[in-house]
Chains A and B, each alone.
Chain A
Amino acid sequence: MSIAESPLTPTTEYRPAPPFDPELAAVLAVLGAQMPPTLTAEMIGPMRSANVTPPIDEVLAARTVDVVREDRDIPGPAGAPDLTISIFKRADHVAGGPGIYHTHGGGMIIGDRFTGIDTILDWVEEFDAVAVTVEYRLAPEHPDPALVDDCYAGLVYTAEHADELGFDASRLIIAGASAGGGLCAGVTLLARDKGGPALAGQVIIYGMLDDRNQTVSSHQIDQIGVWDRGSNDTGWDALLGDRRKTDAVSIYAAPSRATDLSNLPPAYLDCGSSEVFRDEDVAYASQIWADGGIAELHVWPGGFHGFDMMAPQAALSVAMRQTARRGYGGCSAPDARRPPLLPPRRQR
């Protein structure tokens, strides 16, 4: 047997990714045709100007429940510019319910504080929550730690102003999707290590957690699906530059690098089986469990990255939303030791 055939030689061949759910594959056939599978650094500028996040006023007008928005400029991290936040609450809001601090997605390089806001607005309606979403600075103009520091500063402000904003400070959770999921996990680690603010939960939706891009799923999703391996390289390179894949990367930038995930608030994680982030998200939940923490993980079979937002009507997207609502809403928390992340809306 030659060395090349030795069973000890690590394999560089990966099997194909799990197939996309048929309904999602059809959506990808239509929407994916509009974009190359890989986002490169040269495309960051055009992507920002071709912003496909719909105007927030249109989003609010299209909703059945009246939700009001307030924008504020708040102090940024020490020595950094001010930050803009938007606050959402029901027009008939009753103070004292849960708070949601939102870190938006966009690969660390694109998007704004309204990217993915529909999911958050669902919870504002459902649980009478107060949502705060932060306009953090983007890479590559602002490399790490600008992003996670901005997000942390916004969290501190939100927690300190709980009474004035109209929610119960002991019921503040943090939530984010994609890069926002990575920032959500990073900010949660920062809050733990800095001794505050206290969080009641973290919701990591297909979170971008690991700069190393070395999992099986990160190899399987290459030139296919949404946010493929190459796109992930583009995002992390922009955020970390030369530090990427070295020991100089902090756990707050790439939470997968944390070896101790104890003493964290309960985590709720969603991801698709057919996306780059599958394995790092599963591993993150596993590490929380290994460290004795609480995590609820859902891996949606055949889901590509962002499937629930691109195809909200698809059966898998409906299932993900319904499961999340149950998970946050407390139906799955029969026991007071594990309070719901988002308690049901109070009767008025």
Chain B
Amino acid sequence: MHQLVGRLTALDPEASESLKIIAYFDALVDGHANTEVLLRGAAVLSGCAAGFSVAGTQRRVDAAGIRSPVDTAASPALWPQHPLGDAGYAWLERVGPTHANDEMILERLAIALSITFERSAPVVAARKAVETVVDSQAPRADRLAAATQLKLDMTADYCVSAIPALSSALSSALSSAPGGHQTVMVTRVGAVRAVIRPARPGTTNARVAETFAERVGVGFAVPPGELDRSWSSALLALRMTSDREPVVHADDLGAVLMLAEAADERGYDHPDVLALKRLIGSPGAARDLVEAIVATGSARAAARELGLHHSTVQARVAELSPALGFDMRTMSGQTRLQLALRLYYLSTNVFG
């Protein structure tokens, strides 16, 4: 009942009321209040008109909180002000000496306005749309609406690239590149940037990103409505990259991708992966050897690549096989090692 708690009126001109001011603006920001409501808060608390001017936009409410035109004849230089954004400012139309709370009201107003501007900026909206379009949990209708918002061509194919977000070279490259449909997603393996690009070659941010990134997983080429599938495949591909193979295309993985999906759904590692973790869990000669054998397909070729004598490699392989639980020198052993190594990367790669 209102008579229990009174009415929100201008604060005491003499007494500092910081907590009230902070609580008021925090609640407005929590509620996603618009700029007019924020200004009205400043006007009601201060008891005088309030306004802001930033990037060519001016807005003002009078002392009663009603939106009204900015008085261009007035002299804002005399009013208390607070900087806002790039060369903008918020003001209170205080006539005479400032009140105890004016500075705090302006500061909280400016912070709240900045948050509101950032929320409503086009780049933020685009980031949200990218989040939706790759979200397999989102209803298909929402994903299609997001694709439309991103102006994707419904008749063309696109693919999503998954790139670790914490890559300083990449970040500076992307921030200087124009536009681009991308956002940073929180995944179980860390913060990963999702970048949507046309499946056909073109000049996009994704190209820039792939040039600078240390690791990239490239998803399937799909129509806009199925980009969630492309993102899932890109993320799996990224997780199966290695120093030796920093860019993995989901298209190139063949049935390994299905295997990776199945392995990912289990909460535990296959015994072959556990064995690899024991053998090559830390960088060193054993890891180099296993990766070289899988990459080249033979101990002889691996020896050449590693600059070792063939017999040395043969001897190490003979040592490793019992620890693995199978003979990596046979054809089936080769295949088994290849799959185990992919799943080992899947299980151990973490980004940021």
Give A residues with C-beta under 8 Å from B.
Answer: 20-23, 25-35, 39, 47, 51-53, 105-107, 110-111, 115-116, 178, 226-227, 231, 305-306, 309-315, 318
**Chain A residues near B43 (CB-CB < 8 A):** 313
The answer to whether B5 and A32 have CB atoms under 8 Å apart is yes
The answer to whether B4 and A35 have CB atoms under 8 Å apart is yes
Known A-B contacts A25-B27, A29-B26; A106 and B3 likewise in contact (beta carbons under 8 Å): yes
**Chain B residues near A312 (CB-CB < 8 A):** 7
Residue of B nearest to A23 (CB): B37
Cβ of B23 within 8 Å of any chain A Cβ, yes or no, is yes
The answer to whether B23 and A105 have CB atoms under 8 Å apart is no
Most chain B beta carbons < 10 A, residue from A23, A107, A306, A314: A23
Alpha-carbon distance A107/B4, docked complex (angstroms): 10
Alpha-carbon distance A27/B9, docked complex (angstroms): 10
The answer to whether B8 and A311 have CB atoms under 8 Å apart is yes
Q: How large is the interface on B (under 10, 10 to 19, 20 to 34, 35 or more residues)?
A: 20 to 34
**Chain B residues near A23 (CB-CB < 8 A):** 28, 31, 33, 37, 40-41
Cβ of B198 within 8 Å of any chain A Cβ, yes or no, is no
Cβ of B25 within 8 Å of any chain A Cβ, yes or no, is yes
The answer to whether B5 and A34 have CB atoms under 8 Å apart is yes
Residue of B nearest to A112 (CB): B3
Give B residues with C-beta under 8 Å from A.
Answer: 1-8, 20, 23-28, 30-33, 36-37, 40-41, 43-44, 64-66
CB pairs A–B below 8 angstroms (28 shown): A22-B31, A22-B33, A22-B37, A23-B28, A25-B31, A26-B23, A27-B8, A29-B26, A29-B27, A30-B8, A32-B5, A34-B6, A51-B3, A52-B4, A105-B1, A105-B2, A106-B3, A110-B4, A226-B5, A231-B1, A305-B2, A306-B2, A306-B3, A310-B5, A310-B8, A312-B7, A313-B65, A315-B36
- Selected from B2, B23, B40, the residue in CB contact (under 8 A) with A313 is B40
Alpha-carbon distance A20/B32, docked complex (angstroms): 12
Residue of B nearest to A208 (CB): B1
**Chain B residues near A47 (CB-CB < 8 A):** 4
Alpha-carbon distance A26/B42, docked complex (angstroms): 12
The 6 residue pairs across chains A and B that have the minimum distance between CB atoms: A22-B31, A306-B2, A313-B65, A26-B27, A309-B2, A29-B27
**Chain B residues near A33 (CB-CB < 8 A):** 20, 23
**Chain A residues near B65 (CB-CB < 8 A):** 313-314
- Selected from A22, A39, A111, A178, the residue in CB contact (under 8 A) with B30 is A22
Alpha-carbon distance A239/B101, docked complex (angstroms): 43
- Selected from A35, A110, A226, A315, the residue in CB contact (under 8 A) with B37 is A315
Known A-B contacts A22-B28, A227-B4, A310-B2; A30 and B37 likewise in contact (beta carbons under 8 Å): no
Residue of A nearest to B19 (CB): A33
Give the dominant DSSP class at B's interface. helix
The answer to whether A22 and B27 have CB atoms under 8 Å apart is yes
Known A-B contacts A31-B6, A310-B6; A26 and B1 likewise in contact (beta carbons under 8 Å): no
**A234 smallest CB distance to B (angstroms):** 11
- Selected from A31, A107, A315, A318, the residue in CB contact (under 8 A) with B5 is A31
**A185 smallest CB distance to B (angstroms):** 17
- Selected from B1, B23, B26, B41, the residue in CB contact (under 8 A) with A178 is B1
Give the dominant DSSP class at A's interface. loop
Residue of A nearest to B65 (CB): A313
Known A-B contacts A23-B33, A29-B26, A313-B40; A53 and B8 likewise in contact (beta carbons under 8 Å): no
Alpha-carbon distance A318/B36, docked complex (angstroms): 14
**A213 smallest CB distance to B (angstroms):** 15
**A41 smallest CB distance to B (angstroms):** 14
Residue of A nearest to B31 (CB): A22
The answer to whether A26 and B31 have CB atoms under 8 Å apart is yes
The answer to whether B8 and A226 have CB atoms under 8 Å apart is no
Known A-B contacts A226-B1, A306-B1, A309-B2; A26 and B28 likewise in contact (beta carbons under 8 Å): yes
Residue of B nearest to A107 (CB): B1
**Chain B residues near A34 (CB-CB < 8 A):** 5-6
**Chain B residues near A315 (CB-CB < 8 A):** 36-37, 40
**Chain A residues near B5 (CB-CB < 8 A):** 31-32, 34-35, 52, 226, 310
**Chain A residues near B32 (CB-CB < 8 A):** 22
Residue of A nearest to B26 (CB): A29
**Chain A residues near B26 (CB-CB < 8 A):** 29
**Chain B residues near A31 (CB-CB < 8 A):** 5-8
The answer to whether A227 and B1 have CB atoms under 8 Å apart is yes
Alpha-carbon distance A178/B31, docked complex (angstroms): 27
**Chain A residues near B2 (CB-CB < 8 A):** 105, 116, 226, 305-306, 309-310
Residue of B nearest to A311 (CB): B8
**B29 smallest CB distance to A (angstroms):** 9
Known: A25-B28, A34-B6. 7 other contacts (CB 8 A): A23-B37, A26-B25, A27-B24, A52-B3, A105-B2, A310-B8, A313-B43
Alpha-carbon distance A231/B20, docked complex (angstroms): 25
Alpha-carbon distance A39/B23, docked complex (angstroms): 23
- Selected from B3, B33, B66, the residue in CB contact (under 8 A) with A26 is B33
**Chain A residues near B1 (CB-CB < 8 A):** 39, 105-107, 110, 178, 226-227, 231, 305-306
Alpha-carbon distance A77/B23, docked complex (angstroms): 48
Alpha-carbon distance A32/B24, docked complex (angstroms): 11
Alpha-carbon distance A115/B27, docked complex (angstroms): 28
Residue of B nearest to A115 (CB): B3
Alpha-carbon distance A314/B8, docked complex (angstroms): 10
**Chain B residues near A314 (CB-CB < 8 A):** 40, 65
**Chain B residues near A226 (CB-CB < 8 A):** 1-2, 4-5
**A209 smallest CB distance to B (angstroms):** 15
Alpha-carbon distance A196/B36, docked complex (angstroms): 48
**A254 smallest CB distance to B (angstroms):** 18
The answer to whether B20 and A30 have CB atoms under 8 Å apart is yes
Alpha-carbon distance A285/B66, docked complex (angstroms): 32
Residue of B nearest to A27 (CB): B8
**Chain B residues near A22 (CB-CB < 8 A):** 27-28, 30-33, 37
